[in-house]
Structure 1
Amino acid sequence: MDYVYIALLVVLVLLMFVTVFVTFVTGTILTSAPWVPTSKVISRKMCEFGGLKKGDRVLDLGCGDASILIVAAQEFGATCVGVELNPMVALMARTRVRLAGVQDNVKIVRENMFTVDLPDVDVVMMYLLPKATHKIEKRLQDRYKHLTVISHGFELASEEVGKEMVKGSTVRKYKW
């Protein structure tokens, strides 16, 4: 009987590694960028730095596992939309949102951030590679007249209005 539990545990661990590998590979193939999660500490700082308050509408482009959105909804009362192209990562995001109990305030859309119909929002969060960051910036400026953009790690071409270091990462703030 003990061998059955050990065998099940081994199978579970192998499935976990295969899932992570497939998620990484499909993310890289589909989006030219791997999924890299944002820690809760950095997610919280991004929300604070963005001045989030109850009722704010947040868009996370390339939302990954929805870490930022879960913090925004749970701790700040924001209504959120996450855009994620990778189907496996989008599924993980939806699962995490449901497990966190914020499914009424967080919607995950499996779409391409460069072609998705951008909703009305107050704040955009992003943790994107420079090529994607620069490509999406023009689209955001054309769509939104007044917007706060919080970028984890990478700069936009626009002039930043603030910058903070959090656990070795840079969080930048832009407004227009």
Structure 2
Amino acid sequence: MSRMSMRALALCGLLLAGLLMPVQGYAQGETATRDTTEKGAPYVPTPRHIALKMLTLADISSDDVVYDLGSGDGRILILAAQEFGARGVGIEIDSQLVQRARRKARRAGVADRVEFRQGDLFDTDLRPATVVTLYLWPDMNNRLRPKLQRELSSGDRIVSHSFNIDKWPADTTVTMEVRSPSEPNKPLFLWRISAPDATP
């Protein structure tokens, strides 16, 4: 192999490593799709024990309607239906993940309690929700803040995995062990709506 060919191969390797770097947090066997990475929030599944803590932190009951913004493969809502009897709506931009979530809900026997919609979370009417779960980048959380404060009602709850919301102190913060020596522990943030914000 010529020196030029070897140099070209090395350059391709560096470029490939750079492209893969933003999604290193994917669980084994899970892959990012073009839709999830282009929208600014790559699909990184929430471990079951963290999802369960998010739901217990929000004090979920069978009376709740949980909206999961960026719902991925549906695991948080399926768990909410299985363990707490809650109803849920997942909003996900990636059509492949929406189909996967629907299949998982059918297999879990909770398809009558949860639904998954393909769409933009910023265009979603959140007024039916009593609980909203988030695992999004900080800038997306910050952009969502006015919508959350405007559309949710007094007593509704918001739980975010890993990322806070600027200039909105959480009512409760807990730290969860990731169970991986290579990753730091993850904070969970809970907000309770005291009164909806009428500011447009």
Secondary structure class of the residue paired with 1:124: strand
Aligned to 2:119: 111
SS of the residue 1:59 aligns to: strand
Aligned position for 2:163: 154
1:57 aligns with 2:74: no
Secondary structure of 1:109 counterpart: strand
- Displacement of 1:119 in angstroms is 4.3
Deviation at 1:101, TM superposition (A): 1.1
**1:102 and 2:119 are equivalent in the alignment:** no
Moved runs in structure 1, 4+ residues, more than 6 A? none
Mapped to 2, the partners of 1:174 and 1:97 lie a distance apart of: 28
- Taking the aligned partners of 1:160 and 1:71, their CA distance within structure 2 comes to 24
User: Which residue is equivalent to 2:22?
Assistant: none
The alignment covers a number of residue pairs equal to 156
Q: Percent identity?
A: 32
Report if the CA contact (8 A) 2:126-2:152 is conserved: no
Q: Secondary structure at the match of 2:122?
A: coil
TM-score by length of 2: 0.74
- Alpha-carbon offset, residue 81 of structure 1: 0.5
Determine which of 77, 81, 85 is the counterpart of 1:73. 81
Alignment of 1:1-176 (within 5 A): 21=31, 23-29=32-38, 31-146=39-154, 147-157=156-166, 158-167=168-177, 168-176=185-193
Structure whose residues are more often helix by fraction: 1
Q: Which string of whole-angstrom CA distances, capped at 9 and with x for unpartnered residues, describes residues 27-50 of structure 1?
A: 212x12210001110110001000
Cα contact 1:27–1:33 (8 A) shared by 2: yes
Deviation sequence 1:107-166 (CA, Å, 0-9, x none): 101110011232411111110100111111111111123221000000013121111111
Q: Following the alignment from structure 2 to structure 1, what is the Cα–Cα distance between the partners of residues 80 and 73?
A: 13
**TM-score, length of structure 1 as denominator length:** 0.83
RMSD: 1.5
Give the gaps of 5 or more residues in structure 1. 1-18
Q: d(CA) in 2 for partners of 1:119 and 1:65? A: 23
What residue identity is the alignment partner of 1:156?
I
- The question of whether the paired residues in 2 share the 8 Å contact of 1:25 and 1:34 is answered with no
Structure having the higher Rg: 2
The runs of 5 or more residues in structure 2 that have no matched partner are 1-28, 178-184, 194-200
Q: Aligned letter for 2:158?
A: V
Query: For residues 123 and 26 of structure 1, what CA distance do their matches in structure 2 show?
Result: 25
Counterpart CA distance in 1 for 2:152 and 2:131 is: 10
Aligned to 2:13: none
